[in-house]
Structure 1
Amino acid sequence: MLSVPMTARCLTKFADDVEPPDIPNHLDREFEVDAPNTVWCGDVTYIWADSRWYYLAVVIDLYSRRVVGWSLSTIPDAALVVKAEDMAYEQRGKPQDVMFHSDQGCKGAFNWSARKLLGQCTDGTPF
């Protein structure tokens, strides 16, 4: 077996001179929910297909653990997650007072879009 020199580097979410936002953890790892459309979770992942990267944003209802919205794009931006959240919002009958829960992500897209759409803070996700 050939020895391949490898190095690892850690990518940080924030520049060294910028403090990460202080976002309260409202869910506090209570992942058991009593009713649908009370807590939604979201995340973005990437998929290699057709010689390029695609980005998939997914929103699940924490009560049923089912996907309620999704979006696929070649660009990992806020528009990607807004489309997933809009789909969830429309599919679920425009529910009110939904807590949205996500990690703070490398792009922060779910942070921005969740505040825009649902008026809630975000924090670490159970995925």
Structure 2
Amino acid sequence: DQGRQYTSHKFRNELMTHRINQSMSRKGQCWDNAPMERFFGSLKSEWMPEGGYSSEQEARADLQQYVMRYNNTRLHSYNDYRSPVAMEKLAA
């Protein structure tokens, strides 16, 4: 998203202050970020508790479990119902 709020000097300076590298898709290329949008959409709709987490530690542990499940056991229709890891093994 290259919206005004993300390209403003104030926002970009704040990112630099915290040593955060900004990442945006190329102008007019909405598909550049599609894999990450899909990942985060699935994370929010399938996994995260409705009330959020009670601590950063709890969130980190739970998200680590989700990433492992997403990559190793969650079946993806785009991959002919294989996990990303299984699909990578086929490509190797």
TM-score, normalising length: structure 2:
0.33
Q: Relative contact order (alpha carbons < 8 A, sep ≥ 6): 1 or 2 greater?
A: 1
Q: Which of the two has greater helix per residue?
A: 2
Q: Which of the two has greater strand per residue?
A: 1
